[in-house]
Structure 1
């Protein structure tokens, strides 16, 4: 057990602030972020989420050309990034359960090697993985040689839904009504809670996006106590700084002041039924 090294895995829905929390944590000299490792295979083969930035590393280079990621590949004893075919662990079902279990085990082994490469190259104490995916995260937790802990990040379901709706329109994706979308987001929350039953409570830091912004420094200090890294000052801006992360929010390349955006509240109030439904679902947990 490499108990001196820690993985912080951010489990959340999309549009919940995982990239922001990851970016804030990465400002500690002890912490490095890998981004969303779940999507690494897709970024290498340029398929799936990531087309808006042409599937580049956050440094701007492709996963074939990035010098940092090539250092990772060298430690994996591979000469070409495209030897990495898949980095997704998915729930086995259907006729190919045994094959999927075998694939999942291969990905678990691969990710532990990639984590080790990050630790070796950067000499960091803590590595942040913001993949969000619940089954993937818990699968890695159950088979990790490291101290593996979670941030379970929740954001108001109305904010998540309105943000998803906006980005779906921007990228011309199939339109989904707000009611259907908020119910899907609530089901996602239930699935996360179900998966977290397999995780020791002592390994989960529950984080509310809204509570975080009431006193960011206080919450950051609480995280430092929980995860065992030294306290540091809350950064004023969200910005990439010598990072080599995978995926994240589409506007992560822009330097932005870290502040709470309450525009969704006004938008939600214009839709009384949606607003009331979201309020009720939030209360249910």
Structure 2
């Protein structure tokens, strides 16, 4: 993993206190880069990781306080790369205040027509990558009584037509978040999930399915980043799940009070079935 900006040091502020640290995956663009920028403005030392080397170089030229930015290549399904990334950020003190599992991909279309290797990779990156990040960073998070924020999706409310593997991956993220929040609360670690609907990022490039046409793309990356930084500031406020935007908020609220048959009908119509 290539790294920049003080990889093996103990970060401190001008007052001599340890600087708060954060890791963001999928950081080269979209929600990830918007979140990195907000964390840097908030005074964090941030590790921004992705498989897109050129995107990370571009990020360095665009964000504020770039001297507090560490960048590196990270395949989130690779445990050894995760350990290198963590070490680069936390240095000798071994404390991680915030982990943001944002890396993800999407395969859209009829399930049987999408190459299965692509669908397997969706599960590996979105679900296994999130699990591995939590697993690898646990001790550093416990040492800091930190916060984990996992990128979930409105696709985990009810399985979405033409997004079967993506929905499955986000249901896994939802379950992981809920379980770890219960397990890790006694250790002082808060585990939270962020729930946007469609966001205008590269993830949707070339995606043209009934639900994107019917619902539209109403969110921009900074909408999600703003929600994330709000959780970072007050992790104990608002519960485990945090919707982003009116559409996702409405869908989650409806899911709390509606029978499955009604949810199925709504999602069938949204999906053009």
Query: Aligning the two structures, in what range does the TM-score lie when normalised by the shorter sequence?
Result: 0.3 to 0.5
TM-score, scaled to structure 1: 0.40
TM-score normalised by structure 2 residue count: 0.41
Using CA pairs below 8 Å that are at least 6 residues apart, which structure has the higher relative contact order?
1
